[in-house]
Structure formats: C-alpha cells, structure tokens
Structure 1
Amino acid sequence: MIGLVAVDGPGRPLAEELHARWPESSHVHRASRGNCSQPPDVLHFALHRYRSVVAVAPLPAVVSLLTGGLVTLPRGTALLCLDPQRRWVIPMAGGDAAEALSVEVAAALGVTPVPTGHAPVPGHPPGPGHLRRAAESGTPEDAPVLRITDREDPGHGDVLVLPRTLVVGIGAAGGAGPAEAVRLLEETLEEAGLPRSAVARLATVAGKADHPAVRWAAFCLGGVPVDEHPAQALAGVPVPNPSALVGAAVGTASVAEAAALTSAPGGRLVVAKRKSATVTVAVARAALRGRITLIGLGAAAAGRPAPRLPAELRDASAVVGTPEALDALDVLAAAEALDAADVLATAEAAAGPLRPTTRRIAVDVAAGTTTDGAGAPLDPVGAAAHLAAHGHAVALVALGDGAALAVPPGPYEVHHVSAPPAAHHQGDPA
C-alpha cells in the first residue's frame, strides 16, 4: 500500500486523482492546519505506516517538515514530493524504489519526473514497463536534477536536499572555549565541503556533553543532540589517529574519532581528527543499511493447499529469486486471490503480493546474466546482498522453507520468514 499525503488543501485534488488511478494499492491522508491532523503529524504517521509515501506539496514545504524535528524518515522508506501544480514529481529518499515510483506517478498523472541520479543496478533491469514509461514521459534535457547529498551544493541549477547523515565527534579539554570549538568545527566542515545542516548529532566521551564548548557547538549546529559514550567503550574502537597522551588522561586513546564512529554504527570516517589547542573534532558518515527478508514459499506442489503469502513482500523494493521461485510466487498469489473471503481482501490479493513499483529480479544462475557492478556473476543470494548493501529492502524468495539460504554478513539486516499456513481451497479436505 502506498500512502498519499495531501499536506495542505491545494494538494488534495491531485492526491485524490492519483488514488483513483491506484484504488487498490494506495490510501489518501489529508492534513489540515485547523485541527489535530497537522501536516507534521500526518506525514510522520504515513512515513511510519507505509514503505512508500507520496507527499503532495511544494518541495520547500516537504523539506521544512523533514528538517523541523517533528517528522522522522524511517530507513528504507521511499518518499516522493509531488508538485500540487502538476509540474513534477521528485524522489527524495528510498533509492531505486523511489526512482521507479516517480516514473509510475509521472506516467499516471502526466507530470515530469525529476531524476535523482540513482542509476539502475548493473545487470538488474527495471521491472516491466518502467523503461518504456520513462521514455514516454519525455523528460526535458534541461529538467532540474534533485541531488540528495551531504556535500556542498554543486550548483548548476540543481535542486538540493541535505539529509542529516553526518556525526561530529568532539573532544574538549577543561579550558576549551566555545568560540575555539565552533571555529575549528566550521573550518573542518568547510575544508571537507560538508554543510553544517547535514550534521545529525555530536558525540563525545561521557561527562563532556555539558562542557560549554560542546554545548555551544551543538547550539550553533541547530540544537543537535549530543551523545555521550563511556571511555571504556571508546577505547575499544579502532581509529587511525590514537593518542597515548589522551589515553592516559581520559582512559581512551581517541575521543573525537572513536565517538563519531560509535554514534554512526557501520559508518566510516570522512574527516580524520582535526585539532586546535584544546579541541579535537572528527566527522563520520552514518552507514546506509538495507534489509534482506528470506521468504520460503513452501513446496508449491500440484494438488497441495497453497500457503498464504507473507505480508513482508509488500514492504520490499525488490524481490529476488530464481525464475522458478518467482513463477511460484505468481501461482501462490493467484491462489490467495481465490481464497479471499471478502471484497477488500479479494481486491488486495488480486493486485498481487507486490507494490506496483517493486522490481522483480529473476536470477538464472545457469545463464549467468545477473552481475554486480564489476561484471562478476551473481546467484540469487549474491544479488540480494548486492542490493541490500546499497540500502534496499529486498525479499529473497525460494521454494521450500528457505532454510538452506545463507546470506553473508554485510551492511544490512537479515530476517527469515516462512509462508503462513496453507489455505484450503473449496473442495479440499479439511
């Protein structure tokens, strides 16, 4: 299900029109500034209820909501901004899933999709019809490009959205002054080409969050939160620039670098330790983590009751499996539609277990047609891991219970889901 959020009155007609195009796979939420359904509340609710959300509002309004502290964007959620004046649709978060959904919205409403620079994964063609609809949309060559980056604005007329992906680690000696801390921080960000608005939080050693220099730095960054980490925990974090002198003084050989990495688990340093007389800073970028859900489809043998399909399939931006597994998925979806007991369930089942823009990636191991960016062949597990490592929510489907699937460790979460119990068709023995 796709959430359609009319942030204000002018966006309601377009949200209703898009819902009329996708009546079985979308739901409209209408915000109003005159009652309890305020825009931040409605957008926050939708982002935490659906894996894909289309916000119908001017781009500055959506960016303001996301950066105002009242709305959080869950990892992996696809968010689009649809102009109420029917000019364009912009994918703001969600990678390839958002890119594909923007093409779907453009085809449905006749608006211009604004590309974000998320190219299709090599060897993984988009789902049926996506390339055709992109060509038919007639995107002008001079159309603005939305860049979602924590780097400084590259210019060239692009529309820039700055996600808060950076963590600044900071260490301050007892006599460190607020002005010194902010001066070092600003110089460090400027030299690295990193805007201060991309900083999500500060991180330091336990007992330093109330230091005047740390508090002033947090205030100057817009009131970002300050994480404190015990010295013992920081002492175990590998860093490129440890200091024995600092270790003897505070119990950890690194404060700025270790604290930044600890508050950005799985991330990496983008600026190593910089120091002034009494202050040190370092910058880490948070990791982009995806998700792999292993789904066993059951035996799918002829004459046997079909299991019900897991709801997790609707959350995936891509479904990966062998051609046989994807064919079985279609068979089970058709069987589930026949078993639906009421009109709403029948409509949802008939629409299929996947969202309109979820990519189906059939990996034929024998043919060796699916490869990674370097051209190396991938099996279904490798293809799922490759997508999840780039932040996607991936459903890896397999015949049987899927217990034999072994996913290598990586920057993603792994969940195992078995198909719910079989549903009996009419005429089947109870």
Structure 2
Amino acid sequence: MQQIGLVAATAAGHRHARTLAAAWPHARPVDGETVADALRTAWTECDAVVAFLATGAVVRILAPLLDDKRTDPAVVVVDEAARHAVALLGGHTGGANDLAARVGALLDARPVVTTATDAVDLPGLDTLGWPVEGAVAAVSRAILDGEPVRLVTDATWPLPALPENVTRQPPADPSAGEAADGGYRLLVTDRLVPLDGRTAVLRPPSLVAGIGASRDVPAAEVAGLLRRVMADAGLSPASLRCLASIDVKADEAGIVDTARALGVPLETAAAAELAAVDVPHPSEVVRAAVGTPSVAEAAALRGGGTLLVPKTASAMATVAVARHAPRGRLAIVGLGPGAADLRTPRAVAELRRAAVVVGLDQYVDQVRDLLRPGTRVLASGLGAEEERARAAVAEAVAGHAVALIGSGDAGVYAMASPALEYADERIDVVGVPGVTAGLAASALLGAPLGHDHVYLSLSDLHTPWEVIARRVTAAAEGDLVALLYNPRSRARDWQLGAALATFAAHRPPSTPVGVVRNASRDGERVHLATLETLDPTVVDMYSVVVVGSSRTRLVAGRMVTPRGYRWRP
C-alpha cells in the first residue's frame, strides 16, 4: 500500500494532518529538526507527500531533489485553512491528482489539478496503464492543440476515447521511421521503433515469454538470455504481459527474480496442460524430465498466440516469446436508480475509460456529460435489449473498450444477463454494481428489507404468467417480503391485482404495502397502504411495489421488517 508522509508546520496544519492520519492507516506524520528536514525525509521515505505548507516553500525545498517523474513521490500541498489541495508534483504518474481529490474529500477542500489533459478532459498518455516512450509531451500537446495526430497500431487495442484530431490508421507496420509528412504519431506496438521528436509509443501487454530452466539457474542468465532474444527479434521488453513456465518452476528463484525485476507476473501451468499445446520443437528429453515435451514454447503459446521467437537456449535456461492477440474489454455498468449522487464512482470511471458506450437512449442521455470527447455512442430505444447486448459484445470482440449501461444494477433485470450469454473467452468482462430501484425504494420506505426478501417481475411479455404466478405463490407461502418490478402498465392492468390477491391469501389484510414511483428521480412519490387498501391504479411502470411479510409493520410512518434474530449479550 502506498505510504503517505504528512508534513505540517502550524497548529492548523497538524490538526489537518491528524485528520488524514486517523482516516488512512498508511499515512503518518513525519517530523524533523526543521520543517524542511521533515519534508526531505518524507520525500525520501514515502511514496507520496501531503505538505501543509505554502506552495512556494515546498517548491524551494524540493526543487534540488527532483529526479524523474516516473520515480519521484507525488506531492500535494494544502493551505493553512484547508481550502485547496494542490497537486504539485507527480500528477499522473505519481498519482498526485487522485491524491488531491482524496485529500479534498476528507478535508472539504477543493482539489486543484493543473495537468493539461485533465483540465480539458482528455486521457493523458501516461495514465492508460501501459508504458509510454518517446515524445510524450510533444504528442500530448499536439492532441490538446487539435493538431492532426495519426494513431498507428499493430492491432485494435482497448484504448479510451480519443478526440477527433487523432485519426486511427489501419493496422500497419509502425516500425518504419519518422513519418514522411513530419506529422505527429502515436504508435501502439510491441516492436522496437526508431524514435523522433514527433512520435510517442504506447507499449501494449502483448508478449508472453516462456521460460524453461535447470534447477538453481542464476537470475542473471535468465534475464540476459531474455534481453538478447527480444533485442534480436526487435521486440520491446516493456510489452511483456508475463513470464510463463511449468508449475514445478513456480519457486525457481532465478525465474521469480527476473519476473520481479521486470515488474511482470510469473504464470505457471501443470505439465499436462503444457503437453496439450502444439509446439514446433517438442523434445522427448524434456518430456522424460518434466512430463511435457515443451516448457518454454508451450508456456509462451498457452491460451493462443503466435510464436515470434522459438526456443533459444543458454547453458541453464530456455526462452521462447509469443505474441497474443488483444483482448477487448466489456464493462457492464449499473447507473443506479437515476440520481447522479447514487451513481458509484466506479461506474463513472468505467464510462470515462470506454471508447464505445452502448445503452438505451434515455440512459445514455443521463451520462453524456461524463463521456470523454471522441466516445462513440450506440444508443437505441425500448425493446432492443438483445440487439444492444450483441452490439456491445461485438465491439469488445473487435478489441475496443466498451461500456454497456443500464439502470439500477446491471445484473438485476438488466443488461448483464443477455450480454454474458454472448460473451466468450475472447474478451475481458468487468461488472460494475449499481444501486437498484428496489434498494432506492426501500430506503425511502424505511427498512422493509430487514429480513428475507425476493425480487419478482410481473411482466409476462417474455415469461408466461403461469410461471410468474407460481413464483408469486411461493413468495407468499414463504412469507417473504416481495419487491414487485414492472408491476402494471396500460397493456397489463390486471397482473398486479392478481399478485396482491395471492399475497392477501397468506398474510393479514393489514400487511403494509409501499409504492415508490420514480425513486431518486424527478417526480419521486412515496405511497403507503396495506394489502386491503392499496388501489392498483396508483401504480405504473415507473413504480416499485414492496409487499411486506406478516412481520412487517409501520413505525412512525415507515415500513419496518424486524430482523428476527436472537440478540446475544
């Protein structure tokens, strides 16, 4: 966990520092003979620094210590009154921008971020999670200034949305030298390329290096062989996704230490799994020793891929390198019941990470202000759920970063189920939970879900009413609190009455029933009644109906279902 050093000079500063230290176990005050000594100590010992000092003083003290933004600590400066939290150093790479936001949230201070890309709502090239090389500042400036920038890729990778002045070129050989027109380029490649003052290079995680080795192989030998074969093949180590080997080598120090030095994981597989991989250079000697005819090539190719470097051996190690196809990314995002403040931060982050957003038109309209410039939107109307699911999966299979959105929680009567019916192992899927309409309605009604409960949809458009009726009967007989979705529409005006009659046959007529319309949205309305008194005509498709159990009661105008536990002293 990132260690945060807190440096203060005044009583107010110390008070603010204590607030952060109390909230964050990984934050600690740093002292010294002078404030300058304390700040230098925090810079040396911590991953990030929050200084409750004047910005000018922090600049003068730390300026001689600056080395490389990729390794220097992040620095956030907070003024005496805690009005502002300024991301001073390491905005992107060090995480100071995010830290300023977190400090601001705790101290009720305004985060101040001056990084150019953040100021105009564009993704910084150094924030995409991949190594970046070359003329990063120049290409970023060109993107910001609206100058033409060519995006040249080996394949389609799940990048975030980029503005219109960044034009994607067909997959090509980006290893060619400087563009003939002298324009700006953003290359996405695992190949070694000549760099110039107008080219930035993103390194995608496309390469897997398979490693075989004798027992007690030196790390220097493994690393040296790997560097040599990759250089000879014109491949960048920055694009290594992982090292891979057989499971009996999971604790081989020379391999483990090489993976650690490269900053990549070591993935291992059983001999039987590696033996099932078709390789160009099997060895019966290797099979006799470890149970598979190949370690390096099979480990590199496991899960698919194209062999770029066949097995190459040194005295005690063997290396092979394979390129793996990009995996698209599908985030299935629940937007919550409607109110912006009930939308989770993770949902917002996924929307801003996506290059393609797919959803019902009215839900897309709710979040257009969150989408980055250049985001491609695929919106459609009611009744096109299957088409939206297929479209989102197809975009992800093509290699894009996709967000498929729905209201509430995407897994509750929403888009996760149809999408995952079509998604396969070619894409990565991320589920982002959301606050359901049922939970929003429950909070407005009181605590009706204090004990066991069930969600039921009364819509018989896709489910036969006979099936729905059996489920309603089971919920009624089980004395479960019931949340009724899709309770009533102009075309379906009798199903709610039938369901309520079933509940009335199994619990008292005084059982509370709550109706919440437009929970957390404009026009929100809460209506309390009982099984005996509820008028179904107050219910429509914008409503959630909550039917209490036999133990649910009204307390001060609120529905409460006791937890029913035996409380132990």
Q: TM-score interval w.r.t. the shorter chain?
A: 0.5 to 0.7
| Contact 2:150/2:166 (<8 A) preserved | no
Counterparts of 1:329 and 1:31, CA distance in 2? 35
2:96 to 42, 45, 60: 42
- Which residue is 1:411 aligned to? 427
Residue 417 of structure 1, CA deviation: 5.2
| Contact 1:88/1:114 (<8 A) preserved | yes
Counterparts of 2:100 and 2:272, CA distance in 1? 37
Query: Is 1:401 aligned to 2:445, yes or no?
Result: no
Counterparts of 2:96 and 2:216, CA distance in 1? 46
- Which residue is 2:34 aligned to? none
TM-score, with normalisation over the residues of structure 1? Answer: 0.53
Counterparts of 1:328 and 1:203, CA distance in 2? 43
| Contact 1:117/1:147 (<8 A) preserved | yes
> CA 1:289/1:29 → structure 2, altered by over 3 Å: closer, same or farther?
farther
- Which residue is 1:202 aligned to? 243
TM-score, with normalisation over the residues of structure 2? Answer: 0.42
1:117 to 152, 168, 174: 152
After superposition, where does 1:121-270 map in structure 2 within 5 Å? 131=164, 141-154=181-194, 159-161=199-201, 163=203, 165=205, 166-173=207-214, 184-199=225-240, 201-206=242-247, 208=249, 214=255, 218=258, 224=263, 227=266, 229=268, 231-232=270-271, 234-235=273-274, 238-241=277-280, 242-261=282-301, 269-270=307-308
Number of aligned positions between the proteins: 315
Counterparts of 2:323 and 2:93, CA distance in 1? 30
**Residues 175-212 of structure 1 deviation map (CA, whole Å, 9 limit, x = unaligned):** 97888756754553234221345446533334547768
Counterparts of 2:227 and 2:387, CA distance in 1? 46
- Which residue is 2:310 aligned to? 272
2:320 to 265, 282, 296: 282
Find the residue that maps to 1:89 and give its secondary structure.
helix
**Residues 254-308 of structure 1 deviation map (CA, whole Å, 9 limit, x = unaligned):** 211233356xx6765433333456542111345543332345789xxxxxx9676
Relative contact order, CA 8 A, sep 6+: which one is greater?
1
> CA 1:206/1:187 → structure 2, altered by over 3 Å: closer, same or farther?
same
- Which residue is 2:350 aligned to? 315
| Contact 1:387/1:394 (<8 A) preserved | yes
| Contact 1:320/1:360 (<8 A) preserved | yes
Counterparts of 1:381 and 1:280, CA distance in 2? 44
Residue 214 of structure 1, CA deviation: 4.8
Q: Read off the aligned partner of 2:96 and give its amino acid letter.
A: V
Residue 223 of structure 1, CA deviation: 5.0
Unaligned runs of 5+ in 2: 1-57, 64-83, 103-112, 118-124, 168-179, 408-412, 438-518, 528-569
**Residues 298-355 of structure 1 deviation map (CA, whole Å, 9 limit, x = unaligned):** 9xxxxxx967685425522245447xx224532xx2xxxxxxxxxxxxxxxxx84532
Counterparts of 1:250 and 1:47, CA distance in 2? 52
- Which residue is 2:88 aligned to? 31
Q: Aligned Cα RMSD in Å?
A: 5.5
Find the residue that maps to 1:152 and give its secondary structure.
coil
Q: Read off the aligned partner of 1:412 and give its amino acid letter.
A: D
- Which residue is 2:525 aligned to? 428
- Which residue is 2:392 aligned to? 384
> CA 1:420/1:78 → structure 2, altered by over 3 Å: closer, same or farther?
farther
After superposition, where does 1:94-113 map in structure 2 within 5 Å? 103=143, 105-107=144-146, 112=147
After superposition, where does 1:294-373 map in structure 2 within 5 Å? 294=332, 310-311=343-344, 312=347, 315-316=350-351, 317-321=354-358, 325-330=360-365, 333=366, 352=368, 354-357=370-373, 359-362=375-378
Counterparts of 1:352 and 1:175, CA distance in 2? 57
Higher CA-based Rg: 2
Residue 30 of structure 1, CA deviation: 1.4
Residue 423 of structure 1, CA deviation: 1.8
Counterparts of 1:178 and 1:388, CA distance in 2? 38
Counterparts of 1:164 and 1:319, CA distance in 2? 19
| Contact 2:87/2:97 (<8 A) preserved | no
Query: Is 1:291 aligned to 2:329, yes or no?
Result: yes
Q: Read off the aligned partner of 2:520 and give its amino acid letter.
A: A
Q: Read off the aligned partner of 1:284 and give its amino acid letter.
A: A
Unaligned runs of 5+ in 1: 1-7, 11-26, 58-64, 67-71, 91-101, 299-304, 334-350, 366-377
